[in-house]
């Protein structure tokens, strides 16, 4: 019995030290040592653009306000004024897998780690952040087309000020 227990423990340790994990039948390197702003349910970093502001929309498929807001977000972000300045990423809280079938508007499942940096008091909750994760705008509840445009313009103004402040801090 004792030798069986030792053999079991050795096997367990060897398998648990493996630095690869499977997700949706795809093997990926363990991302735990990266400094990701967001992670999906499986611990993988969510890729964020470096040249656009990011709109993080925390939503649920079971939320009717979220489902009504979804086409509004997509419509406004396809407009010429905003298209090349923002990237919309949906973070869904009630799904079991990522849905990356829409390259323009990807949907990721959420990790509990995300809620530390981006608290979600209810759905929908939306953050507009810089590529390095600075929060510019925080919205709780569904937005109308008019409100969304106002928030996007507000985020652009704050981002310009943020970039200016960053340059001034780097200057000798």
Q: Kindly report, residue by residue over 87-116, the tens digit of the pLDDT.
A: 999 999 999 999 999 999 999 999 999 999
Token look-up 């079971």 returns 62
Phi-psi region of 25 (alpha: psi -120 to 50; beta: other; left: phi over 0): left
With a cut of 70, list the residues of the chain below it in pLDDT.
1-34
pLDDT of 2:
54
**Phi, psi (rounded to 5 degrees) for 82:** -120, -15
Domains of the chain: 53-170 (3.40.30.10)
* Partners of 137 in beta bridges: 128
pLDDT of 17:
41
Q: Are 116 and 39 in contact (CB under 8 A)?
A: no
pLDDT of 3:
54
Angle, in degrees to the nearest 10, between helices 145-170 and 64-77: 60
């Amino acid at each position: 019995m004792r030798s069986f227990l030792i053999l079991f423990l050795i096997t367990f340790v060897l398998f648990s030290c493996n630095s690869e994990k499977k997700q949706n039948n795809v093997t990926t390197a363990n991302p735990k040592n990266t400094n990701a702003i967001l992670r999906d349910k499986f611990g993988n970093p969510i890729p964020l653009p470096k040249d656009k502001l990011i709109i993080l929309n925390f939503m649920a498929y079971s939320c009717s306000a979220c489902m009504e807001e979804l086409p509004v977000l997509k419509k406004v972000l396809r407009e010429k004024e905003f298209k090349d300045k923002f990237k919309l990423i949906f973070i869904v809280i009630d799904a079991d897998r990522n849905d990356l079938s829409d390259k323009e508007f990807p949907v990721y499942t959420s990790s509990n780690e995300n809620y530390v940096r981006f608290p979600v008091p209810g759905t929908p909750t939306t953050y507009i952040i810089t590529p390095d994760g600075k929060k510019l705008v925080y919205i709780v509840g569904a937005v109308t087309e008019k409100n969304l445009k106002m928030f996007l313009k507000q985020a652009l103004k704050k981002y310009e000020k943020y970039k200016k402040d960053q340059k001034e801090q780097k200057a000798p």
